[in-house]
C-alpha cells in the first residue's frame, strides 16, 4: 500500500517524538498526531516551542521545522483515522489498578478503545500499527475487534515496538540500533519498512512474526532493568566489603561478553516502562503457569524497591535516626536526566518514605514544576493534599532548596548539579552537612574537602 497519510493516536512521550522524526524524514507524508487530551494538543501547537508538553533534547527544533508543513497535532481523532492509510496506536498501557491482574497486568482499555474507534470510523483499508508496548498476543484481540465491523474494510495489524530511551529519544530515533516490525502481511510490513527506510538502513529493519515482536519489547526492557538491579544488588555488598561498585562495574564492563552500558549503580530505576513491563511479563508467565519464570523476573522489581527503601533508611539512620522537622534538599525529581518525565521516579518513593518520618523536603529539578511534584505525591494517597503541600515544596533555584538543609539527596543525574557552587551550598547548610548521592554524580574527595559528610551508593 502506498502511504501518503499517517495518523498516530496518542501524543505522548512516544507518539510525539516518533512521529516528529518520521515527518522530518518523509516530507511527502502527512503525519497527524491526535489525542483526547486537549491541553496536551494545545501545548504541542504552542507557537513557543519551549512550551511543548515533552522535553527532549532536539525535539523542539524538529517540531519547529515540520509542524504546519507535514506534521499536525489535533483532537479530531475520527477525521485523522478516516483520511489515513496507516494508523499508529501509541496510547498509554499502564499497570492495572483494579480487578483481575491488579498491580501486575497491563491495562489495555485505552488500546481497545482505539481499536473500536478505528473499526467504527474506517471506510477504507488500513494498516494498524501497535506502537504501544503490549502483552504478547494482543494483536489477536485487536484483529478480532477490527474483523467484526461488518464492513469490507481490510485491516492489517503490525507490531512495531518503540525502543527509544527518554532523554536521548531524538538521537535514538534518528540512529536506532534496529527497527522491529512484526506482522503477517508482507505488503503491510514493507509499507512500514519503506517509511523507516527513508533514514534507517534496511539491514537494521528486522522483520519477524507479530508475537516475537510483541515479546521482544517486554524482553528488552526486562533485560535492561535486570542489569540495573544486578549492579544495585552488588552495590549493597560493596558497602559491606569496602569494594567500590564503580570499580567493579568498570572491571566487569570491559569483558566484551558483558559490555559497559547500563551498569551504573543508583538509587533505583524509575520511568513509566521498566516496572510496568516486567510486572506484565511476570503476569503473563504466571498466566501460563510458569512460576519459576515469573519468580525470576519479579526479583528484578523486588530488588529495585529494596534499593529505594534502603537509600531512604540510610539517610534517616545517618541523620541520627530522625528526620522529623529537618529540611532535606532534593536535587532532581525526574526519573532520569534530560527529561521532564517523573513517572515512577525513585524520588517520589524516597520522598514519601521521608515524609512518613515527618521530614520537610525542598526539591529543585530544572524541568519539573512544584505542581507536578504535588500531583505525583498526591497520587500515592499516603496523606492528604494539604499535608503534602505543607511538607514538600518545589524551589525556584537549587540554592533555595538547599539553604538551611540538614542533607542533600541527589535523586537525578542532571549534569548541571556538578557545576554548582558547592562551597556556597556548604556554608548555607546546617552542620554537619550531609550529601546522599543517589547517582554517584559528585566527586567524593572534593565534597569531603569542602567539609561535607558524603555518602554514595556502593562505596
Ligand X SMILES: NC(=O)c1ccc[n+]([C@@H]2O[C@H](COP(=O)([O-])OP(=O)(O)OC[C@H]3O[C@@H](n4cnc5c(N)ncnc54)[C@H](O)[C@@H]3O)[C@@H](O)[C@H]2O)c1
Selected range binding ligand X among 59-67, 108-116, 148-156, 246-254, rule: CB under 6 A? 108-116
Nearer to ligand X, 77 or 312 (CB): 77
Tell whether residue 17 is a contact of ligand X (CB under 6 A).
no
* Residue at shortest CB range from ligand X: 12
Residue that the C-alpha cell 483481575 belongs to: 100
Tell whether residue 31 is a contact of ligand X (CB under 6 A).
no
Tell whether residue 90 is a contact of ligand X (CB under 6 A).
yes
Question: What is the closest distance, in whole angstroms, from the C-beta atom of residue 217 to ligand X in the complex?
Answer: 7
Sign of CA dihedral 100, 106, 110, 113: negative
Tell whether residue 398 is a contact of ligand X (CB under 6 A).
no
Nearer to ligand X, 168 or 314 (CB): 168
Which residue of 133, 226, 235, 459 would you call a contact of ligand X, by CB under 6 A? 133
- Show the site string, 163-182: x = touches ligand X by CB under 6 A, - = not: -x-x----------------
Cell of 448: 569531603
Phi, psi dihedrals of residue 409, rounded to the nearest 5°: -115, 120
Checking 65-70 for CB contacts under 8 A at 24+ apart, the result is 65/24, 66/20, 66/23, 66/24, 66/31, 69/23, 69/27, 70/23, 70/26, 70/27, 70/28, 70/29, 70/30, 70/31
Nearer to ligand X, 80 or 457 (CB): 80
Known catalytic residues?
162, 217, 273
Tell whether residue 162 is a contact of ligand X (CB under 6 A).
yes
Which residue of 1, 43, 49, 113 would you call a contact of ligand X, by CB under 6 A? 113
Separation of alpha carbons 301 and 275, rounded Å: 7
Nearer to ligand X, 91 or 411 (CB): 91
Distances (CA, A) of 126 to 15, 117, 315, 441: 18, 13, 55, 49
Residue 82 makes CB contacts below 8 A (sequence gap 6+) with: 121, 122, 123
Rounded to an integer, what is the distance from CA 412 to the centroid of its chain? 13
Question: What is the closest distance, in whole angstroms, from the C-beta atom of residue 49 to ligand X in the complex?
Answer: 18
Which residue of 91, 193, 238, 303 would you call a contact of ligand X, by CB under 6 A? 91
Tell whether residue 135 is a contact of ligand X (CB under 6 A).
no
Tell me the angle at which helices 370-380 and 346-356 cross, rounded to the nearest 10 degrees.
Answer: 70
Angle formed at CA 220 by CA 214 and CA 225, multiple of 5 degrees? 135
Question: What is the closest distance, in whole angstroms, from the C-beta atom of residue 429 to ligand X in the complex?
Answer: 35
Specify which residues 194 forms β-bridges with.
none
- Show the site string, 263-302: x = touches ligand X by CB under 6 A, - = not: ---------xx-----------------------------
Tell whether residue 365 is a contact of ligand X (CB under 6 A).
no
Query: Element (H or E) spanning 301, and its range?
Result: helix 291-318
List contacts with ligand X (CB under 6 A).
Answer: 9-15, 35-37, 40, 77, 90-93, 110, 113-114, 132-133, 162, 164, 166, 272-273
Amino acid at each position: 500500500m502506498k502511504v501518503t497519510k499517517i495518523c498516530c493516536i496518542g501524543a505522548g512521550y512516544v507518539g510525539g517524538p516518533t512521529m516528529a522524526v518520521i515527518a522530518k524524514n518523509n516530507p511527502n507524508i502527512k503525519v497527524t498526531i491526535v489525542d483526547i487530551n486537549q491541553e496536551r494538543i494545545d501545548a504541542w501547537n504552542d507557537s513557543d516551542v519551549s512550551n511543548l508538553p515533552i522535553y527532549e533534547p532536539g525535539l523542539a527544533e524538529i517540531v519547529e521545522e515540520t509542524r504546519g508543513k507535514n506534521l499536525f497535532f489535533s483532537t479530531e481523532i475520527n477525521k485523522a483515522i478516516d483520511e489515513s492509510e496507516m494508523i499508529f496506536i501509541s496510547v498509554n498501557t499502564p499497570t492495572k489498578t483494579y480487578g483481575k491482574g491488579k498491580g501486575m497486568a497491563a491495562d489495555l482499555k485505552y488500546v481497545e478503545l482505539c481499536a473500536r474507534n478505528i473499526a467504527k470510523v474506517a471506510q477504507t483499508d488500513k494498516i494498524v500499527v501497535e506502537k504501544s508496548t503490549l502483552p504478547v498476543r494482543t494483536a489477536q484481540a485487536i484483529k478480532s475487534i477490527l474483523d467484526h465491523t461488518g464492513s469490507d474494510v481490510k485491516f492489517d495489524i503490525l507490531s512495531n515496538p518503540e525502543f527509544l530511551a527518554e532523554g536521548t529519544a531524538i538521537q535514538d530515533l534518528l540512529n536506532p540500533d534496529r527497527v522491529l516490525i512484526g506482522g503477517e502481511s508482507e505488503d503491510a510490513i514493507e509499507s512500514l519498512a519503506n517509511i523507516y527506510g527513508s533514514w534507517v538502513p534496511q539491514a537494521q529493519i528486522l522483520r519477524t512474526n507479530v508475537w516475537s515482536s510483541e515479546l521482544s519489547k517486554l524482553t528488552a526492557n526486562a533485560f535492561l532493568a535486570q542489569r540495573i538491579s544486578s549492579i544495585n544488588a552488588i552495590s549493597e555488598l560493596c558497602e559491606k566489603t569496602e569494594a567500590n561498585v564503580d570499580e567493579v562495574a568498570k572491571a566487569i564492563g570491559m569483558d566484551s561478553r558483558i559490555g559497559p552500558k547500563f551498569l551504573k549503580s543508583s538509587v533505583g530505576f524509575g520511568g513509566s516502562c521498566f516496572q510496568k513491563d516486567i510486572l506484565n511479563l511476570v503476569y503473563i508467565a504466571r498466566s501460563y503457569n510458569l512460576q519459576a519464570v515469573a519468580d525470576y523476573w519479579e526479583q528484578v522489581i523486588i530488588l529495585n524497591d529494596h534499593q529505594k527503601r534502603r537509600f531512604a533508611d540510610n539517610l534517616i539512620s545517618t541523620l541520627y535516626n530522625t528526620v522529623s522537622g529537618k529540611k532535606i534538599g532534593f536535587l532532581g525529581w525526574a526519573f532520569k536526566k534530560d527529561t521532564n518525565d517523573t513517572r515512577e521516579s525513585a524520588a517520589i518513593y524516597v520522598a514519601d518514605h521521608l515524609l512518613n518520618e515527618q521530614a520537610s523536603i525542598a526539591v529543585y529539578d530544572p524541568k519539573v514544576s512544584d505542581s507536578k511534584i504535588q500531583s505525583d505525591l498526591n497520587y500515592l494517597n499516603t496523606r492528604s493534599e494539604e499535608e503534602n503541600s505543607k511538607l514538600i515544596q518545589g524551589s525556584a533555584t537549587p540554592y533555595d532548596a538547599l539553604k538551611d538543609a540538614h542533607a542533600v539527596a541527589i535523586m537525578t543525574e542532571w549534569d548541571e548539579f556538578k557545576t554548582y557552587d558547592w562551597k556556597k551550598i556548604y556554608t548555607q547548610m546546617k552542620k554537619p552537612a550531609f550529601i546522599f548521592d543517589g547517582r554517584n554524580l559528585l566527586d567524593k574527595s572534593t565534597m569531603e574537602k569542602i567539609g561535607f559528610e558524603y555518602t554514595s551508593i556502593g562505596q
